[in-house]
Homo-oligomer: A and B are copies of this chain.
Amino acid sequence: MQTIHQRFQIEYQYSVFFTENLFHQNNPLLKDFFSNYKDQGFQRKALVVVDEGFANHHPTLEQDIKSYFESQVQDIALAKDIIFVPGGEASKNDPALFEKLCKAVDIYGIDRHSFVVGIGGGAVLDLVGYAAAVSHRGIKLIRIPTTVLSQNDSGVGVKNGINFHGKKNFLGTFAPAVAVFNDLTFLRSLEDRDWRGGISEAIKVALIKDAGFFTWMEENATKLVNRDEEAMAYLIHRCAEMHTDHIAGGDPFEFGSSRPLDFGHWAAHKLEYLTNFEVRHGEAVAIGIALDCVYAVQIGMLAESDLYRILDLLTKLGFDLYHPKLAENDKINLRNGLQEFREHLGGRLTIMLLEKIGKGVEVHELDADIIAKSVDYLETATLATPEKIS
């Protein structure tokens, strides 16, 4: 019998909107978006899931959402309850929360033409996105990211996931949202560390792709530290744009082994785990970038002057460059992260390193001794100013 050859393409599109005061009665953005989904013959619904850590700072949120839907979005029936989940990594560690969301999809009769709306940080969006992606084989997802990191990176991308038996993002899918709404005003309530945290993803993408953007951050470091919203709006937009461009231009569902946007991430993921998530993703990425840049200098790939600019910017922004867990167990714990990173990506170990600011280059192995030396370097660097170390 003749072999059957099957072949087809799936097209995805979505928009990332930038706004302020998304749920104010006079903000038409969400209403206009939903008006594209007016249909005859059936009622679409929306189930809203909110990050408690965000909600705690926005006491009128629940009422604002309900009023907005009631007065502005008549065509979509809002589920009668809004679901709250704990914020941060805890949301991805507890399988009961995943179950709770799937059950909510069932209880409120959310079907594949209805919407799940996730509001929160990257962790909650990863959880909500995963539950939406596998319930009924995929419900339309709207992401409303409320941290810098989720507005400029995770929220605009195509991935979701939860942790499983101690493995970060072990369960997940590639599932683009149907829309992303970035509200600048939502960032006001962020702790400084989360305001800062997401900047490391912008540094990451600037370092491997856009020296001009890196320079812009150097020039605007003080503004960013002082929580200047205009500067942050620019940073988020540019970073989001670079992420979406990269995804569309490359390998959106990561069938290959190359993941340039994971620059600085192999050590970051491990450090998050080793610290039981006390070091948050963005903070860990800053350290991961620092480590891999020191490594690149050690192997003669990157100029020291570039390294100093990088460590300097990270320091100015308030990032730690070192954590004692990096050195634990003779650095073996950290180095195990390399193998785990390879396993999660699959295929050949592929690590992005830096040739110069604005240009990354992929390598396929890292030397254990040089990793160890790089860790030592960063330990010492935190005791002095970067300029004094060679």
Contacts and interface: CB of A to CB of B under 8 A. Distances in A.
Interface of A: 1-18, 39-42, 102-103, 106, 109, 111-114, 130, 133-139, 156, 159, 161, 164-165, 167, 169-174, 176, 233, 237, 240-241, 244, 247-248, 252-254, 257, 342-349, 364
Contact of A7 (B102, B167, B248, B257): B248
B7 A12 contact: yes
A387 B135 CA distance: 44
Contacts of A237: 1-2, 4
Given A6-B176, A102-B164, A137 B111 contact: no
Given A16-B6, A111-B347, A173 B133 contact: yes
A342 B111 contact: yes
28 contacts: A1-B233, A1-B237, A3-B15, A3-B18, A4-B15, A4-B240, A5-B13, A6-B15, A6-B176, A6-B248, A7-B11, A8-B247, A8-B252, A9-B12, A10-B10, A40-B348, A41-B364, A42-B349, A102-B164, A109-B343, A112-B344, A134-B172, A134-B173, A136-B343, A136-B344, A137-B174, A138-B173, A138-B253
A358 to B, nearest CB: 21
Contact of A171 (B9, B17, B135, B252): B135
A274 to B, nearest CB: 18
The 10 A-B pairs with the shortest beta carbon distances in the complex, nearest first, are A112-B346, A111-B346, A1-B18, A113-B347, A113-B346, A4-B16, A7-B13, A41-B348, A42-B348, A8-B248
